[in-house]
Amino acid sequence: MAVRRRGLTERDRAEWARFAQAITPLPGREVPAPPPEPVLPVPQPRVAEPVAPPPLTRPQALSVGTHPGGLDNSTWNKFRSGKLPASRTIDLHGRTAQRAYHALHQFIETAHADRVRCVEVITGRGSGEAGGVIKRELPLWLNLPTLRPLVLAASHPHAANPGSVRLLLRRVK
């Protein structure tokens, strides 16, 4: 066990002075002086350096029909070919964009909380070349910070049915 050295107290100094008075030095020597007070470094106040939080890892942008990272090929092929059945379905066509967004948000959060793996979102084909508003907005909604951490992949269950999107939800940890 290491002995910790500390400085002399006033009592220790008084004892030394009394001891030194009682001795007779050898010829040619002087009375020993009290030991010097050790000079201890003055501890500097430690300033805590701000620690930057680790950067948040943002999932890559989700696009319908692309193979995402973190998903094996076998599961991806079953999912994109429509062989992985959807446990729940929501039909959004016929709703306003705002109501469709809120319904989708609640639907995905509830399905994720219930540990559902695959869900289907029916947007409808829409009229015109670009399709309907909900069909155009769905990829944007899925990439919002509130929904993106819950969704792993998105794909059309069949190439002939662009009005429906299947979502593969992340597993609950």
Residue at 166: amino acid letter: R
Is residue 157 a part of any domain in this protein?
A: yes
- Where residue 65 falls (left for φ over 0; alpha for ψ -120 to 50; beta otherwise) is left
pLDDT of residue 107: 93
Is residue 132 a part of any domain in this protein?
A: yes
The Cα-based distances of 129 to 125, 132, 135, 137 in angstroms read 10, 9, 12, 15
Nearest CA to 79 out of 116, 115, 118, 107 is that of 118
Is residue 9 a part of any domain in this protein?
A: no
How many helices (H) and strands (E) would you count in the chain? 4, 4
Is residue 63 a part of any domain in this protein?
A: no
User: 135 lies in which domain range?
Assistant: 73-169
What number of CA atoms fall less than 13 Å from residue 39's CA on the CB side? 0
pLDDT of residue 120: 92
One digit per residue, the tens of pLDDT, for the chain of length 173 reads: 566 666 777 788 778 777 877 777 778 877 666 666 666 677 777 776 676 666 666 667 787 888 887 788 888 888 888 888 889 999 988 888 899 999 999 999 999 999 999 999 988 777 666 667 888 888 888 888 888 888 888 888 776 677 788 998 888 77
CATH of the domain at 100: 3.30.1370.110
pLDDT of residue 71: 81
Q: What three-state secondary structure class fits 118?
A: strand
pLDDT of residue 102: 93
Indicate the number of domains in the chain: 1
pLDDT of residue 33: 67
The Cα-based distances of 152 to 74, 79, 167 in angstroms read 15, 11, 7
pLDDT of residue 56: 61
